[in-house]
């Protein structure tokens, strides 16, 4: 119970993979039994699993059919949902400030709010870091949110229709997508775009044939693509992409993005119809020195190994927005599997904090990495349970394991029976709708 005898109030800001999993777990454990009031705050009304943004951008993922509505999830799992964007934090009063919610016409839907907490969890994720590169904000799409992915998809369809309206001789080679950053998002998007172009050709847009009329370019500042992952995985992915005629420029730093294309530090220039920036991440700017909480150079909140912030024992942070020390040295990587593991630990730690018990330390278990290359292949490196090194997987096995990661997230949110029904609905849905969203 809280100090005054009432039910403790737990507020979670950010409904990404980790935040929504945590709210669901706490709702089932504490909210169901009336042991705590759990409130999730997010600026959006629905949840999309972030690793699927490249599919949403290419149009191969129907977000309206598969996204999770926060209000419904809250009703089913015994927590509350408040829509709004974090505006500030009053640590002395133990309240968060939420900006007013405004509609497309500028009218106020919900006024500014103050929401009291006994325990606060910040899980607001990350955003793309453009490193101050000139022209990125004006001429590139940063693929770090569902809204950005939908914006890219609309521009992609517009560009395809524009190319289709030109005579074939003029249209050849006129459509180029430049992807800056060859991490997992950039690599997966490149393969997904190639597959999407093949489907669009089958719908009559035959001026954007993936090998003839659509040029996909990957630009990476490191010496190889997927630089953060094992070299064998990188080489396998590069080999698959080259089979798809994806042009790879490694060891090239982008110094300017313009409406016409991308200029590199070497002086070379890539003309581009669409430019996507997928290089680097940082936490949101508002987290820098938020109410005096400690943050690092990329705005992440610094936490101890129990996921408590270093300057306030009632405030926790996890996922991409938190800098958590790793027992192996360094910091826990900003990856979906880390947020999933942290949500599990934090659900228990909040219960321990409520009971006045010592908190457990977070130990990241790296189970490896998987990269999807659309329908063509997948590659991955499995770790954790192996005595030495890692196990390389590719092809159908890797594709099945990648699919399993999404199912694991659905299981955490919906349980076994509902996940089975969701999976059956996904299979049935593929029968009656196009493989690519055409609007």
48 and 141 part of one domain = no
Q: Can you tell me the mean pLDDT for 406-424?
A: 74
| For residue 134, pLDDT beyond 90 | yes
97 and 152 part of one domain = no
Q: Which two tokens stand for residue 119?
A: 């325990």
Residue after which a domain boundary falls, among 279, 307, 327: 279
Cβ neighbours of residue 127 closer than 8 Å, sequence gap 6 or more = 142, 144, 145, 281, 282, 283, 284
115 and 151 part of one domain = no
Q: Which segments of 313-394 does DSSP mark as H helices, in order?
A: 336-354
Q: Can you tell me the mean pLDDT for 139-152?
A: 89
C-alpha distances (whole Å) from 224 to each of 271, 316, 391 are 22, 36, 20
C-alpha distances (whole Å) from 182 to each of 14, 21, 65, 430 are 27, 29, 29, 30
204 and 315 part of one domain = no
Query: pLDDT tens-digit profile of 317-374?
Result: 999 999 999 987 889 998 888 999 999 999 999 999 999 999 999 999 887 777 777 7
Q: How many structural domains is the chain composed of?
A: 2
273 and 155 part of one domain = yes
CATH of the domain at 121: 3.50.50.60
Q: Given pLDDT bands bounded at 50, 70 and 90, which one contains residue 19?
A: very high
Confidence (pTM): 0.85
Q: Given pLDDT bands bounded at 50, 70 and 90, which one contains residue 157?
A: confident
Is the pLDDT higher at 301 or at 66? 301
Q: Can you tell me the mean pLDDT for 167-186?
A: 75
Query: pLDDT tens-digit profile of 261-274?
Result: 999 999 999 999 89
Highest-scoring range by mean pLDDT, 15-19, 207-211, 294-298, 408-412: 294-298
Q: Given pLDDT bands bounded at 50, 70 and 90, which one contains residue 172?
A: very low
pLDDT cut 90: percent of the chain above it:
50
Nearest residue to 181 (alpha-carbon basis) of 215, 144, 219, 238: 219
152 and 237 part of one domain = yes
Cβ neighbour number for residue 400 with a 10 Å cutoff: 11
Is the pLDDT higher at 97 or at 175? 97
149 and 201 part of one domain = yes
Q: Given pLDDT bands bounded at 50, 70 and 90, which one contains residue 439?
A: very low
Query: pLDDT tens-digit profile of 301-322?
Result: 999 999 999 999 999 999 999 9
Q: Can you tell me the mean pLDDT for 146-161?
A: 84
The answer to whether residue 36 sits within a structural domain is yes
| For residue 293, pLDDT beyond 90 | yes
Buried b / exposed e over 50-78, threshold 16 CB at 10 Å, is: bbbbbbbbbbbbbbeebbbebeebbeebb
| Domain that residue 155 falls in | 136-279
Residue after which a domain boundary falls, among 279, 311, 327: 279
The answer to whether residue 423 sits within a structural domain is no
CA 310 to chain CA mean position, Å: 26
287 and 275 part of one domain = no
């Amino acid at each position: 119970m809280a100090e005054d005898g009432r039910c403790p109030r737990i507020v979670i800001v950010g409904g990404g993979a980790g935040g929504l999993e945590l709210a669901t777990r706490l709702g089932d454990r504490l909210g169901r039994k009336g042991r705590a009031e759990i409130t999730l705050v997010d600026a959006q009304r629905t949840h999309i699993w972030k690793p699927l943004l490249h599919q949403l951008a290419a149009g191969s993922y129907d977000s309206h059919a598969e996204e999770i509505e926060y209000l419904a999830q809250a009703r089913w799992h015994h927590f509350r949902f408040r829509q709004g964007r974090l505006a500030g934090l009053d640590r002395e009063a133990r309240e968060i400030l939420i900006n007013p919610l405004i509609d497309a016409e500028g009218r106020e839907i919900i006024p500014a709010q103050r929401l009291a907490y006994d325990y606060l969890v910040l899980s607001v994720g990350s955003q793309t870091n453009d490193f101050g590169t000139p022209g990125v904000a004006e001429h590139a799409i940063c693929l770090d949110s569902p809204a950005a992915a939908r914006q890219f998809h609309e521009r992609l369809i517009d560009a395809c229709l524009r190319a289709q309206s030109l005579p074939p001789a003029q249209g050849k080679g006129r459509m180029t997508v430049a992807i800056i950053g060859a991490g997992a998002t950039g690599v997966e998007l490149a393969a997904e775009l190639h597959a999407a172009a093949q489907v669009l050709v089958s719908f009559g847009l035959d001026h954007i044939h993936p090998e003839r009329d659509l040029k996909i370019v990957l630009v990476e500042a490191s010496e190889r693509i997927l630089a953060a992952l094992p070299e064998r995985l990188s080489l396998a992915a590069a080999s698959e992409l080259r089979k798809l005629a994806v042009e790879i420029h490694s060891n090239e730093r982008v110094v300017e993005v313009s409406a016409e294309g991308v200029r590199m530090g070497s002086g070379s220039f890539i003309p581009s119809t669409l430019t996507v920036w997928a290089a680097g991440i940082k936490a949101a700017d508002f987290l820098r020195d938020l109410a005096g909480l400690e943050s690092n150079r990329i705005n992440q909140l610094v936490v101890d190994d129990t996921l408590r912030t270093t300057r306030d024992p009632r405030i926790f942070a996890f996922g991409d927005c938190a800098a958590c020390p790793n027992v192996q040295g360094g910091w826990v990587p900003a990856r979906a599997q880390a947020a999933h593991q942290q949500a599990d630990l934090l659900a228990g730690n909040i219960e321990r904090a409520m009971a006045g018990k010592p908190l457990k330390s977070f130990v990241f278990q790296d189970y490896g990495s998987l990269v999807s290359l659309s329908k063509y292949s997948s590659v991955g490196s499995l770790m954790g349970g192996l005595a030495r090194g890692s196990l390389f997987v590719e092809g159908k096995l890797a594709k099945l394991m990648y699919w399993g990661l999404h199912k694991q997230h659905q299981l955490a949110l919906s349980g076994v029976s509902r996940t089975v029904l969701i999976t059956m609905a996904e299979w049935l849905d593929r029968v009656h709708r196009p493989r690519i969203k055409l609007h």
